[in-house]
């Protein structure tokens, strides 16, 4: 999926949902350790800077490496865990999880279940385009928390040449 995204949107930044990573961690550890390890991970994605987050992540990995080597290895290998720190602080809370898109997907699912099936691919495309348009019209004048203040910085980021 990541490769396809980069083919279509070469300037895209890929971010794993921290909430889902946290849930995955919780499912792979003993019940007695869940709260502590999840709190340690929460400190990582709620840090004020990427450097601080890396420090917390390093401490977490060091602390849990012997007890949960697979969990810590997956965190070490995950290059897309802290991408959101490349963005302005005001919007980080909105983009470290996939809540925005999950909410939209839930709406699409809810309305498509009413249809049960589509006659053909064209009717499905019309349904999706209408759903996207309705959603966009609903939130046309709205700006998600922090995005309006970060608009200038985001435009500047996105207008810069790509880094290799």
DSSP state at residue 131: H
87-123: pLDDT as tens digits = 998 888 888 887 778 888 888 888 777 776 788 889 8
Check: CB of residue 84 under 8 Å from CB of residue 96. Answer: yes
For residue 42, the model assigns a pLDDT of: 96
Between vectors from CA 134 to CA 129 and to CA 140, what angle results, nearest 5°? Answer: 120
Cβ contacts of residue 61 below 8 Å, gap of 6+? 72, 75, 76
34-38, 121-125, 152-156 — which one is most confidently predicted on average? 34-38
Q: How confident is the model at residue 52 (pLDDT cuts 50, 70, 90)?
A: very high
Return the pLDDT at 23.
Answer: 95
Task: Write 49-56 long-range contacts (CB < 8 A, 24+).
Answer: 49/85, 50/82, 50/85, 50/86, 53/82, 53/85, 54/82
pLDDT of 144 over the 80 cut: no
Please tell me the distance from the alpha carbon of residue 153 to that of residue 147, in angstroms, as a whole number.
10
Segment 23-45 mean pLDDT: 97
Q: What percent of the chain has pLDDT over 90?
A: 42
105 or 61, greater pLDDT:
61
The predicted structure's pLDDT at residue 163: 61
Cα distance between residue 107 and residue 79, in whole Å: 30
Question: Residue 66's pLDDT band (boundaries 50, 70, 90)?
Answer: very high
Rg over CA atoms, the chain: 19
Place of tokens 């983009």: 95
């Amino acid at each position: 999926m990541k490769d396809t995204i980069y083919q279509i949107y070469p300037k895209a930044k890929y971010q794993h949902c921290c909430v889902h990573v946290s849930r995955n961690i919780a499912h792979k550890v003993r019940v007695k350790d869940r709260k502590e390890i999840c709190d340690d991970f929460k400190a990582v994605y709620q840090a004020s800077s990427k450097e601080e987050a890396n420090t917390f992540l390093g401490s977490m990995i060091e602390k849990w490496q012997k007890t949960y080597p697979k969990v810590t290895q997956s965190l070490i290998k995950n290059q897309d865990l802290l991408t959101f720190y490349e963005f302005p602080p005001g919007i980080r809370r909105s983009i470290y999880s996939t809540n925005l898109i999950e909410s939209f997907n839930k709406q699409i699912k809810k309305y498509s279940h009413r249809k049960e099936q589509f006659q053909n691919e064209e009717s499905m495309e019309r349904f999706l385009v209408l759903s996207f348009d309705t959603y966009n019209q609903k939130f046309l004048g709205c700006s998600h928390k922090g995005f309006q203040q970060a608009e200038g910085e985001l435009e500047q980021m996105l207008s810069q040449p790509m880094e290799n």
